[in-house]
């Protein structure tokens, strides 16, 4: 099959949508399919450095969600679209590139698929508009865009139920983004340890990966880490990510007197993520806005148990406390669960093995097979 992915966020940007796109693209290509990416241009000269399957459009940052971009929906790339003999048009965002995909799908009579990656309702605090109005607008916009598709894909049961509440009438398939199960957990860490001053002989490390925005609930993790330090004075915390709340997070950690025990890496390339994960003993996560919790699955693939607040997509990944613990939004209960894994070697070993087996069950190979089946059914 020839498949066109349309997205308003793509490399070199780093976020969950881009990770999902890349995992599916790579695995589809390994299975003999062709995937073409239609996406925003974010840097000058970028087109020349791109592989042949990437087509860029001039763009500007979306003011309330800078990970996404508003693209000028015209490029010379469109002159080549017909020559690609596309079988399926698959959108990953509903903004300008998504609307361009709708136009092309109608023009060339192609089936259209949309993956609902982002729960936009949880990003309304970035807009200077009354909440009731924006909630109604997001509900209407999500419903309208999804209903223009022949098929909608969601990563979890909770998101499917959310879209049904919006009155989405298009068929909905649940297909999480899988993880490439490799020997990443055998990766070498010496360079990373030197770069960030990490010493696992003296300290245990917690780790998280998240955009530093209000919707990711990072402040909860700072509160939790502060409490955990009371009984684990040698504990350290690695935070991978950046965002608008970073200064506020640093200020709160400074007030607690724990900033010196936190390693903030900012955004890092994927080749650094896996060595950093390997060095940690527990992955901690507090976001209540995830459609899937892909970073949790990545940690589990590195044989790291996880503790997360029970919510939406996260519940599916850590179902029945398989690979870690789900916790209510309560500091006392949350830190108790982290402490249990940190201090009980047998429990840590059990949760580590569960985590890896869970990640294997949700492998990229298995999830891509499900995606191909959905494509084939649609083409019939």
DSSP for 57-114 reads: E-EEE-TT-TTSEEE-S--TTHHHHGGG--SEEEES-SSHHHHHHHHHHHHTT--EEE
Tens digits of per-residue pLDDT, 251-276? 999 999 999 999 999 999 888 899 99
Q: What percent of the chain has pLDDT over 70?
A: 92
DSSP codes of every residue in 218-250: HHHHHHHHHHHHHH-TTEEEEEEB--TTHHHHH
* One domain for residues 269 and 153: no
Rounded to an integer, what is the distance from CA 202 to the centroid of its chain? Answer: 32
373-380 long-range CB contacts below 8 Å, 24 or more apart? 374/113, 374/151, 374/153, 374/173, 374/175, 375/1, 375/3, 375/87, 375/88, 375/113, 378/88, 378/111, 378/113, 378/150, 378/151, 379/1, 379/87, 379/88, 379/111
pLDDT attached to residue 275: 92
Give the count of domains, the chain: 2
* One domain for residues 188 and 142: no
* One domain for residues 147 and 202: no
- For residues 241 and 212, the answer to whether their CB atoms sit within 8 Å is yes
* One domain for residues 234 and 316: yes
pLDDT attached to residue 316: 87
The CA distance from 323 to 356, in Å, is 7
For residue 121, name the pLDDT band (cuts at 50, 70, 90): low
* One domain for residues 320 and 375: no
Full domain range(s) for residue 95: 2-178+364-379
* Residue 259 structure tokens: 């900033």
The CA distance from 299 to 184, in Å, is 10
pLDDT above 80 for 286: yes
For residue 116, name the pLDDT band (cuts at 50, 70, 90): very high
pLDDT above 70 for 65: no
* One domain for residues 240 and 270: yes
DSSP codes of every residue in 357-369: HHHHHTBHHHHHH
* One domain for residues 167 and 262: no
pLDDT attached to residue 341: 97
**How many other CB atoms are found less than 10 A from the CB of residue 280?**
22
* One domain for residues 33 and 99: yes
| HSE of 355, CA atoms in CB hemisphere, 13 A | 28
* One domain for residues 211 and 83: no
Considering only residues 62 and 42, tell me which one the structure prediction assigns the higher pLDDT.
Answer: 42
* One domain for residues 195 and 163: no
Q: What is the mean pLDDT of residues 184-201?
A: 87
CA angle (335, 337, 339) in 5-degree steps: 70
* One domain for residues 95 and 208: no
* One domain for residues 370 and 312: no
* Residue 125 structure tokens: 């605090």
CATH number for the domain that contains residue 112: 3.40.50.2000
User: How many secondary structure helices (H) and strands (E) does the chain include?
Assistant: 15, 15
């Amino acid at each position: 099959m020839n498949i066109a992915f349309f997205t308003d966020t793509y490399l070199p940007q780093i976020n969950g949508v881009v990770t999902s796109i890349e995992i599916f693209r790579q695995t589809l290509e390994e299975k003999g399919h062709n995937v073409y990416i239609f996406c925003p241009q974010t840097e000058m000269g970028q087109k020349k450095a791109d592989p042949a399957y990437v087509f860029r459009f001039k763009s500007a940052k979306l003011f309330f969600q800078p990970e996404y971009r508003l693209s000028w929906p015209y490029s010379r790339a469109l002159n080549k679209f017909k020559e690609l003999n596309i079988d399926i048009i698959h959108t990953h965002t509903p903004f300008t590139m998504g609307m361009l995909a709708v136009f092309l799908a109608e023009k060339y009579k192609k089936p259209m698929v949309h993956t609902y990656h982002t729960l936009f309702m949880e990003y309304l605090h970035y807009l200077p508009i009354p909440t009731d109005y924006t909630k109604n607008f997001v509900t209407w916009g999500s419903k309208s865009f999804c209903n223009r598709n022949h098929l909608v894909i969601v990563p979890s049961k909770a998101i499917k139920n959310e879209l049904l509440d919006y009155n989405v009438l298009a068929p909905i398939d649940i297909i999480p983004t899988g993880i490439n199960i490799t020997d990443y957990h055998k990766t070498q860490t010496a360079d990373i340890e030197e770069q960030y001053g990490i010493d696992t002989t003296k300290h245990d490390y917690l780790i998280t990966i998240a955009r530093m925005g209000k919707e990711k609930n990072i402040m909860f993790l700072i509160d939790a880490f502060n409490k955990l330090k009371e009984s684990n004075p040698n504990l350290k915390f690695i935070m991978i990510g950046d965002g608008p709340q970073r200064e506020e997070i640093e200020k709160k950690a400074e007030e607690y007197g724990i900033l010196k025990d936190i390693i903030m890496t900012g955004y890092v390339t994927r080749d650094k993520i896996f060595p950093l994960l390997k060095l940690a003993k527990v992955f901690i996560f507090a976001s209540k806005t995830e459609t899937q919790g892909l970073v949790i699955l990545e940690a589990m693939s590195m044989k790291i148990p996880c503790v997360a607040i029970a919510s939406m997509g996260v519940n599916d990944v850590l179902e029945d406390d398989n690979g870690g613990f789900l916790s209510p939004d309560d500091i006392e209960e949350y830190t108790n669960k982290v402490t249990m894994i940190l201090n009980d070697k047998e429990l840590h070993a059990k949760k580590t093995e569960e985590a890896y087996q869970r990640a294997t069950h949700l492998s990229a190979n298995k999830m891509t097979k499900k995606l191909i089946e959905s494509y084939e059914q649609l083409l019939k």
